[in-house]
A and B are shown apart, each in its own frame.
Chain A
Amino acid sequence: MGLTVAIPKGRLGEQVIEMLKSAKIGESIDEKSRKLIFEDEKNNIKFMLLKNSDVITYVENGVADIGFSGKDMIMENNSDIYELYKMNIGKCKLSVAGIKGKKIFMEDTILKVATKFPNIAKKYFDSKGQKIRTIKLNGSIELAPILGLSDVIVDIVETGNTLKANGLEVLEDMYDISAMIISNRISYKFKRKEIKEIIELISKEDECND
C-alpha cells in the first residue's frame, strides 16, 4: 500500500525535495527533467510535481495521499483535509498594504481590495467590521493601488522589498504563513502509519530549518 505525495513546483518544492533527499526518500526526483511523476520503488512512494495552487486540490480529491502546500492556499480554499504538520519553511506573512503615506478611503465607505486571496480578505475584513469589494488578480498585485484599481492590496509579504520598490508599505499584518504537510482525510485512515512515518522523517529534517 504505497503513498502518493504531491509536491509543488517552484521554490517551496525545491526546498521540500532537498529535505526528502537528505532523508533518503525520493532520490529519483529530478526537477530539471520535464517529467512530472517519479517513483521511489525502495520506499514505495510515488511523487507528483504540480502547480503550487493545485496541490491542495489533488490531495482533497484523494489523487495524492499527502502534499506540501502553503497555509495561504489552505486558508483560501477552505478545503476538507487534515493539516498534519506545520513546517519551518515557506515562512512569510499575509498583510494589508497600501501606498506609503497616502490616506485611504477617498470617496467611498467600501474599501477596494486587490488580491489573489479574495476569501481570506473577505473573512479578515468581515471580522474587523469593514465592508470591502474584492478585486481578484493573478499577479503583480502591487500595481493595483498605484494604478488606481484598488485602495489597498492583500498579499504575501516575505521581505517587503517588492512593496518598497513600488512605493507601498505594510498597513497591517494579518496572518503568519508557513508551508504545511496536508493529508487526504480518508487516506489518513487507511495509511496512518505510513503517513506518520514520512512526517516524522521530514520533521527531523525540518527542525534544522528553525
Chain B
Amino acid sequence: MKFLKIEDEIKFSQKMFKLKREIENFLCEEGYLNIEPSLLEEYDEFRDIYSKMDKKKTVKLVDNASDILILTPDITAGIVNKFMSKWEENLKLKLFYYGKTYAHNSVEIKEKRQMGVECLGEKNKNTDENVLGTAIKVLNKYSKNYLFEIGSSKFLKGLMQSCSFNKEDYINILNLIYFKNKQELKEYLSKLPYKEAMSTLLNIFDLEGSFEEIIKNLNGLYMNDLMKEGIAELSKVNEYFKNESNKIIYDLSLVSELNYYDGIIFRGYIEHSNKEMIKGGRYDSFTEQFGFKIPAIGFSIELDELIKTLYKEVI
C-alpha cells in the first residue's frame, strides 16, 4: 500500500490555500475587515465568560507564572472577549477571521480550520438578512445541492421559560429535543406538573420544514411574547429570502450547542457531506456580561469539511 506522497500533501495545501483565498476575497468584497484571532486564551477568564465550555475538552498549557492557558476552543468567544473590554459606544465592526480551534476528543487533540464572520455593534433593518445572505452565498459558491436551515433560540428559550423547569429537567429536556426523541420527551413531561406551554413543546418536532408549514402547525398552540418575537423575526427573514425558498428550511427545535445565541440561529449543509458546513446566529446577550449589550451576529465556516466536498466533486 502507498500512503500519501509529498506531492499529494502539497496538492492538498494548494487546494486549501485557494479555498481560503477565494472566501477571503469574497468576504472583503462584502465589506468585512480581516482580524487575526489569538491562539491562546487565559483559562480562568475564558471559563467565566464562556460557561458552556467543556473543561475536559480544552487543551491546556502552563506559562512561566504557573497560569493556565488554553488553545482557543471557540474563536467568536475569544474575539468578543478581546474587544468588549475596550468597546466604544456607536462602534460598528464587520470582521472576518481565519483561525484554528482545538479540543481533545477521546483519542487525540483535534484541530479544526475555521473561517468566520462577526458583525458587531450594528443592527439596522436588514443586518440579520445581510449576514445570512453572505453565508448562503458562500454555500452556493461551492455546491448547488445545499440547504440552509434557520431556527430561533428566542422561540425555544421562551417556550422553556413558560414551562418553568428546574435546572436538571431543563437540561434533560433540551437534550431530548436535540435528539428529536419525541416519545421519551412525552414520557418525561407526563411526570411533571402540567403547564399550558407543554402542549407546544410536545408538538415541537412538527415545527420544521417550510415557513408556511410551521405557521400552519403553530396554529392553536400556546405562544408567549418571546416566542412570538422569534416567529416575527423568522417571518421577516422568510420574506427577504422568498426567491431562494426551496433551499431554506426552518426548524424550531434547533438547539445550539452554544448557549450564547439569542435570536435567529442557522446552519448550512451540503448534500452527501456528513458535517455542518456553516454554523451561526445572533448572540447579543453574550456581550451583555461585559457590562453593556451590543448587537452581535456571526457565523463560522468549517473549512476542513468544505474542502472534502471539493474533492468529491472532482471525482
Contact = CB atoms under 8 A, between A and B. Distances in A.
Given A189-B269, A192-B209, A85 B274 contact: no
B274 A184 contact: yes
Interface stretch (B80-88, B111-119, B176-184, B280-288): B176-184
Given A192-B208, A192-B209, A186 B183 contact: no
B271 interface: yes
A61 interface: yes
Contacts of A189: 147, 149, 249, 269
Contact of B180 (A62, A83, A186, A190): A83
A192 B149 CA distance: 13
Contacts of B249: 189
Contacts of B184: 83, 86
Contacts of A86: 181, 183-184
A194 to B, nearest CB: 13
A62 B274 contact: yes
Contacts of B208: 192
Contacts of A61: 274
Contacts of B149: 189
A61 B273 CA distance: 9
A186 B271 CA distance: 8
B209 A186 contact: no
B271 A190 contact: yes
Interface string A41-76: 000000000000000000001100000000000000
B179 A186 contact: no
Nearest to B249: A189
A192 B269 CA distance: 14
B4 to A, nearest CB: 21
B179 to A, nearest CB: 5
B181 A186 contact: no
B180 A84 contact: yes
Contact of A81 (B179, B182, B183, B272): B179
A82 interface: yes
4 nearest A-B pairs in the assembled complex, by CB-CB distance: A62-B274, A83-B181, A86-B183, A82-B180
B41 to A, nearest CB: 25
Interface in A159-210: 184, 186, 188-190, 192
A83 B269 contact: no
B11 interface: no
A183 B76 CA distance: 30
Interface string B120-164: 000000000000000000000000000101000000000000000
Nearest to A187: B274
Interface residues of B, number: 18
A83 B180 CA distance: 6
B278 to A, nearest CB: 12
15 contacts: A62-B273, A62-B274, A82-B180, A83-B180, A84-B181, A84-B182, A85-B183, A86-B183, A86-B184, A186-B269, A186-B274, A186-B276, A189-B147, A192-B208, A192-B209
A8 to B, nearest CB: 19
Nearest to A191: B271
Contacts of A186: 269, 273-276
Interface string B49-85: 0000000000000000000000000000000000000
A190 B147 contact: yes
Nearest to B267: A189
Nearest to A193: B209
Contacts of A190: 147, 269, 271
Contacts of A82: 179-181
Residue among A61, A86, A184, A186 with most chain B CB within 10 A: A186
A126 to B, nearest CB: 14
A192 B272 CA distance: 14
Contacts of B179: 81-83
Interface in A76-99: 81-86
A102 to B, nearest CB: 34
Interface in B199-256: 208-209, 249
A189 B277 CA distance: 13
A188 B273 CA distance: 12
A62 B305 CA distance: 14
A84 B205 CA distance: 10
B166 to A, nearest CB: 15
Nearest to A71: B184
A76 B272 CA distance: 27
A192 B206 CA distance: 12
A189 B148 CA distance: 10
Interface string B270-312: 0111111000000000000000000000000000000000000
Contacts of A83: 179-181, 184
